[in-house]
Amino acid sequence: MTALKLLSRTKLYWGLIAIFLIGVLGSPMSSKGNNIFLSYGNLLDVLRQVSTTGLIATGMTAVIITGGIDLSVGSLMAICSVVCAMLLTVPGVTPGVVLGVPTVALVALCLGFVVTRFIFQNLAKSRAGADLVRDIRLDGIRGLVTPAVVGVVLCCLSLWYLLPQIGSKFGVPGVLLVAPCVGLLFGALNGFIIVAGRLQPFIVTLAMMVTALGIARLTAGQNNAVLPVYTGSNATADFEILRSLVFGVIPMPGLFFLGAILIYGAVLRFTPFGRYVYAIGGNEEAARLSGIAAGRVKIATYAISGLLAGIAAVLYVAQYRQGKPDAGAGLELDAIAAVVIGGTSLMGGRGSLTGTFCGVLIFGLLSNILQLHNINSNLQLVLKGMIIIGTVLVQERNAGDLLAYLRLPGGQAAHKETTAAKRPSQETPSLNLGGNKNETT
């Protein structure tokens, strides 16, 4: 391994250490002479604040690796926060119930069918499994009926659990079921429109962002309605657990974020689904020719992105004790920035959740440092934008092109080398389903 490769693999960790040291050395002091940046309360606040962005960035990573993008996650989070706040505070049939409960039933029906059908198809690929499927006659019409029955059973179970809660206030398990399902449904709809219509993800998710924002406002009843969750005892008491510290150390939102990173990271690294995600981002046409169901994989990535946006909405409501139609405004941009800083290529085919984790922490620490120094919020946006542009230039190795256009020394040579490297090869493109194992964690 060359020193350059080693440096490229560790630059994120060095960047994280560097931004942390900048925060420590440049931190203002409290009246007692303590370092505010290093204070336990400040570090807990950083972890709480990055958890919401981190959950969305986790789902965004796989979407971007496939060559797509999801601009709707902020608005999906807004819908889910409004639904969550209504379920917690207002008993009876509310717009939140009308939107949430049927969504859970529909998601349960579809997941039951899809997952069961997927299991049958994978069983049929092995000799013993094929014999089993044939013996119980699940390779014909019953191969469709049985998954449908499983879906109906799950649908009925979800209704059996949720319907009795409509007359009272929903508890934590109820909102943790409803809100993520709402996000999952809208995310899957994003993916379906992109795949079925062969449309650009940017356009589809931009349209969904506007649509979801309108639905959130209609559900809330006003354009900028704020639905308070804690005014006296108007919400379920056990919802406070989502604000607590696990073992007195880790905030519950941080535990959700770490869990999502570990689980999704394992899926992307060790399962065929993860290899398919990287293959589609590297060369979608080659992936299709190799037998990969690219459309289904892309729909799944958008659905998971929406699911994580729904979980982030529940944590947002728990942290700020309110739900509102603009809860996730601009959060999709922060998530994309964290993913890009973490090394995921906007061109697709390259990236990792390890990098996203570091990118989220770097972005969160940077925001915290700027806030501690009372930097104007508008100037913070300018600085964040400059950082994103610089990161993309370095990652995509386009700095030489920029220098060439600016006619700086060395720019022309770098421009020629970059242009030559970008010329398409005359050889037939090949597909590596294994992906780059160094970039899949």
Residue 106 CB-density burial (10 A; 0-12 exposed, 13-18 middle, 19+ buried): middle
Residue 302 neighbours by CB distance under 10 Å: 32
Closest CA to 340 of 404, 389, 280, 305: 389
Phi, psi of 34 (to 5 degrees): -90, 150
pLDDT of residue 383: 79
pLDDT of residue 362: 87
Closest CA to 335 of 64, 106, 113: 64
Q: How far apart are CA 267 and CA 435, in angstroms?
A: 13
pLDDT tens for 246-283 read 777 788 888 999 999 999 999 999 988 999 999 999 88
Specify the residue for token string 């920035």. Answer: 337
Closest CA to 58 of 318, 419, 350, 301: 301
pLDDT of residue 10: 60
One-letter amino acid for residue 370 of the chain: L
Rg (CA), the chain: 24
Q: How far apart are CA 119 and CA 151, in angstroms?
A: 13
100-103 contact pairs (CB < 8 A, 24+): 100/178, 100/179, 100/181, 100/182, 101/159, 101/162, 101/163, 101/166, 101/178, 103/178, 103/181, 103/182, 103/185
Lowest mean pLDDT among 8-12, 40-44, 237-241, 271-275: 8-12
Query: Which residues, listed in sequence order, are joined to residue 250 by a DSSP beta bridge?
Result: 246
pLDDT tens for 209-230 read 999 999 988 888 765 566 676 5
Q: How far apart are CA 48 and CA 250, in angstroms?
A: 9
Specify the residue for token string 């993913």. Answer: 339
Confidence band, pLDDT 50/70/90 cuts, at residue 88: confident
Torsion of CA 35, 40, 41, 47, to 10 degrees: 110
Q: How many residues does the chain have?
A: 441
Confidence band, pLDDT 50/70/90 cuts, at residue 424: very low
Compute the half-sphere exposure of residue 400: CA atoms within 13 Å on the CB side of its CA: 14
Of all residues in the chain, what percent carry a pLDDT higher than 70?
A: 76
Judge whether 212 and 311 are in contact, CB under 8 Å.
no
Q: How far apart are CA 66 and CA 89, in angstroms?
A: 39
